[in-house]
């Protein structure tokens, strides 16, 4: 298990950087607002970052149980279908996808 000082160091780093990232823009808002690069990145980034997180999470799941690769892909597809079919209810879609994966992985 990692040592407590290490964990506390991580926590303080996380706290400082996260708060700074949220606070600094308010201080320099005027200058940033005029930058075309910043405005474009603001529009372009969120979808991509979320997609990257989804793929790395999927990759992690597959690496952990490689025989479940097809179940994982199937469960992702099910999550998407449920999400689009039932008007984007996050808890329902995530629950359905996860249940399908857990059941497939443990019973087959």
Binding site for other proteins (CB under 8 A): 1-2, 4, 6-7, 9-15, 17-19, 21-26, 29, 32-33, 36-38, 40-61, 64-65, 68, 72, 75-76, 79-80, 83-84, 88, 90, 93-94, 97-98, 101-102, 105-106
The residue (of 14 and 70) whose beta carbon lies closer to other proteins is: 14
Whole-number Å distance between alpha carbons of 71 and 67: 8
Length of the chain: 108
Judging by beta carbons within 10 Å of its beta carbon (0-12, 13-18, 19+), is residue 40 exposed, middle or buried?
exposed
| Rg, Å, the chain Cα set | 20
Let me know: does 102 contact 87? Beta carbons within 8 Å: no
Residue 75 Cβ vs other proteins, minimum distance, rounded to whole Å: 6
Closest approach of Cβ 26 to other proteins, in Å? Answer: 5
Least distance CB 70 / other proteins (angstroms) = 13
- Chain position carrying tokens 């443990």: 106
Residue closer to other proteins (CB basis): 12 or 70: 12
């Amino acid at each position: 298990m990692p040592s407590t000082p290490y964990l506390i160091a991580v926590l303080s780093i996380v706290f400082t950087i996260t708060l700074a990232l949220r606070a600094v823009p308010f201080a320099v808002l005027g200058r940033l607002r005029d930058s075309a690069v910043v405005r474009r990145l603001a529009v372009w980034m969120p979808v991509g970052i979320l997609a990257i997180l989804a793929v790395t999470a999927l990759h992690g799941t597959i690496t952990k149980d490689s025989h479940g690769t097809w179940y994982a892909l199937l469960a992702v597809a099910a999550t998407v279908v449920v999400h689009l079919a039932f008007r984007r209810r996050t808890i329902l879609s995530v629950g359905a996808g996860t249940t399908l994966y857990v059941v497939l992985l443990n019973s087959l």
